[in-house]
């Protein structure tokens, strides 16, 4: 190395930079090699070669640095690190021969040759040409390190390796962390580091400490081994699992951004609550409808019983009025309610006029004349209501007024159909007490939007007015 003392400053600086670059790329080759997944004797042998090359480049850098130091101190001394240089060369030779036998690889021989060119013996043999030989060795080592860096990196990217796994983890949207039993982090991706800064303002180097001091105390349980951590800008689902890697047990902590899923779940929950509320309202409505239908059914039965009783009372009153006793057939009719059955059958037929004719004939058969003026309206609902009111009014005339004639007048007046019912009864009424009969007739009218009112002077009269169906509407 004595010849280096005579070189200009620029040359010595160039040598220094060359040795530093050598050491840097040699270290990079060794680091990239450690990311390889393929293990075995060859892996460790090549690793030993890269480590020894790194040692060689460090020694070379130290030799050049020594020249700088001696020049600044004003001394010129012989080369140092002689034993270290020979030890590195010997180790490289041993590893080279093992690889040569096992792998038939001559590539480590380049590193061995470069190491030999930097030995003290080569300095003696080459004399003044040693700086050029030393520079050539450095250049070859640098070129080889750069080439191996590119080759190993390409290999790591295109195959399964620690580097490719790390790159794949960093590309995930899910935060991932692996730590040992003591919490020491073995591997984590960038997303987990970002999440740590969001939740704790700094990056943790112990996974269990982060889990037990930040995540668990500030999250809500979401099932076994899972918890929800809510941030101002989103919701994260943390999961913790114990997995076996070879003979070791590793803790895996993952965190997934479930902000959109959480929003959807909240919307579904609100919809569920709303649907449940609507279901309860619908249930109450159905119950009210059922109660209403039950009330209507009870009222209908009550009305039918009332009508049947009216018919029987009318017959009895007629017999009593004329001082006659009913014959066997009439008595049986009273007993079984023949009139009621007849009306029910006719109502099932759906013809109001036919039912009204039956009523008129039946009353005429027991001596009661119903005088009809006008025809039933064409609207079926109004006709059915008028027929039912005539039936009830005739029964009331006979039962309460002892009438033998009932007069019914039906008219169509503009938008309304009207009906007036009078009789020749002997009653004098000033105050009408409405019972189930009049109440039932009023219901028939009001169900179609009509009205029923009673006149008591100069004679008892029943008046009904029901609006006609307009064009575009449907009748009952």
Domain boundaries, the chain: 2-163, 173-257, 295-467
Enter the tokens of residue 183. Answer: 């919490």
**HEC secondary structure over the chain:** CHHHHHCCHHHHHHHHHHHHHHHHHHHHHHHHHHCECCCCHHHHHHHHHHHHHHHHHHHHHHHHHHHHHHHHHCCCCCCCCHHHHHHHHHHHHHHHHHHHHHHCCCHHHHHHHHHHHCCHHHHHHHHHHHHHHHHHHHHHHHHHHHHHHHHHHHHHHHCCEHHHHHHHHHCCCCEEEEECCCCEEEEECHHHHHHHHHHHCCCCCEHHHHHHHHHHHHCEECCCCEEEEEECCEEEEEEEEEEEECCEEEEEEEEEECHHHHHHHHHHHHHHHHHHHHHHHHHHHHHHHHHHHHHHHHHHHHHHHHHHHHHHHHHHHHHHHCCCCCCHHHHHHHHHCHHHHHHHHHHHHCCHHHHHHHHHHHHHHCCCEEEEECCCCCCHHHHHHHHHHHHHHHHHHHHHHCCCEEEEEEEEECCEEEEEEEECCCCCCCCCCCCHHHHHHHHHHHCCCCEEEEECCCCCEEEEEEECCCCCCCCC
pLDDT along the chain (476 residues), means of 10: 56 74 85 74 84 84 70 58 84 86 79 82 77 81 85 72 68 87 86 89 89 88 84 89 82 88 83 86 80 62 56 61 55 48 49 84 82 90 90 84 88 89 76 72 90 85 88 55
**What pLDDT, on a 0 to 100 scale, did the predictor assign at position 245?**
73
How many of the other CB atoms lie within 10 Å of CB of 343? 22
Q: What pLDDT is recorded for position 346? A: 46
Tokens 């970002």 -> residue: 194
Select the CATH number that applies to the domain covering 295-467 from these four: 3.30.70.20, 3.40.50.20, 3.30.565.10, 3.10.20.30.
3.30.565.10
What CATH number does the domain located at 173-257 have? 3.30.450.20
Q: Is-above-0.85 flag for pTM?
A: no
- pLDDT for residue 452: 93
pLDDT of residue 320: 57
């Amino acid at each position: 190395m004595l010849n280096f003392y005579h070189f200009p400053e620029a040359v010595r600086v160039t040598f220094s930079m060359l040795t530093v670059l050598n050491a840097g790329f040699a270290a990079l080759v060794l680091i990239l090699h450690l990311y390889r997944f393929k293990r075995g004797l060859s892996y460790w042998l090549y690793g030993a070669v890269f480590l020894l090359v790194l040692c060689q480049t460090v020694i070379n850098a130290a030799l050049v640095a020594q020249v700088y130091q001696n020049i600044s101190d004003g001394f010129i001394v012989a080369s140092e690190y002689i034993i270290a240089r020979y030890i590195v060369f010997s180790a490289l030779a041993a590893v080279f021969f093992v690889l040569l036998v096992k792998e038939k690889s001559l590539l480590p021989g380049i590193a061995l040759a470069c190491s030999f060119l930097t030995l003290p013996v080569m300095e003696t043999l080459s004399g003044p040409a040693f700086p050029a030989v030393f520079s050539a060795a450095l250049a070859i080592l640098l070129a080889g390190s750069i080439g191996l860096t590119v080759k190993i990196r390409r290999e790591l990217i295109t195959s399964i390796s620690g580097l490719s796994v790390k790159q794949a983890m960093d590309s995930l949207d899910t935060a991932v962390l692996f730590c040992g039993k003591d919490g020491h982090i073995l591997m984590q991706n960038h997303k987990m580091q970002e999440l740590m800064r969001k939740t704790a303002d700094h990056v943790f180097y112990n996974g269990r400490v982060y889990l037990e001091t930040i995540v668990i105390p500030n999250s809500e349980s979401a099932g076994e081994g899972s918890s929800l951590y809510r941030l101002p800008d989103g919701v994260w689902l943390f999961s913790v699992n114990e997995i076996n890697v070879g003979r070791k047990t590793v803790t895996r902590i993952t965190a997934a951004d479930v902000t959109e899923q959480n929003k959807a779940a909240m919307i579904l929950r609100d919809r569920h609550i709303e649907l449940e509320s609507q279901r309860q309202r619908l249930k109450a409505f159905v119950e009210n409808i059922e109660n209403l239908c039950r009330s209507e059914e009870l009222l209908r039965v009550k009305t039918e019983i009332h009508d049947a009783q009216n018919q029987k009372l009318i017959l009895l009153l007629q017999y009593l009025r004329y001082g006659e006793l009913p014959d066997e057939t009439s008595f049986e009719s009273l007993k079984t309610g023949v009139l009621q059955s007849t009306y029910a059958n006719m109502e099932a037929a759906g013809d109001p006029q036919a039912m009204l004719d039956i009523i008129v004939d039946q009353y005429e058969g027991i001596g009661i004349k119903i005088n009809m003026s006008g025809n039933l309206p064409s609207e079926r609902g109004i006709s059915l209501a008028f027929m039912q009111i005539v039936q009830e009014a005739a029964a009331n005339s006979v039962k309460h007024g002892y009438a033998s004639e009932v007069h019914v007048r039906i008219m169509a007046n503009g938008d309304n159909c009207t009906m007036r019912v009078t009789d020749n009864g002997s009653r004098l009424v000033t105050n009408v007490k409405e019972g189930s009969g009049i109440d039932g007739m009023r219901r028939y009218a009001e169900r179609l939007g009509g009205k029923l009112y009673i006149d008591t002077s100069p004679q008892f009269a029943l008046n009904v007015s029901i609006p006609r169906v307009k064009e575009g509407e449907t009748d009952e």
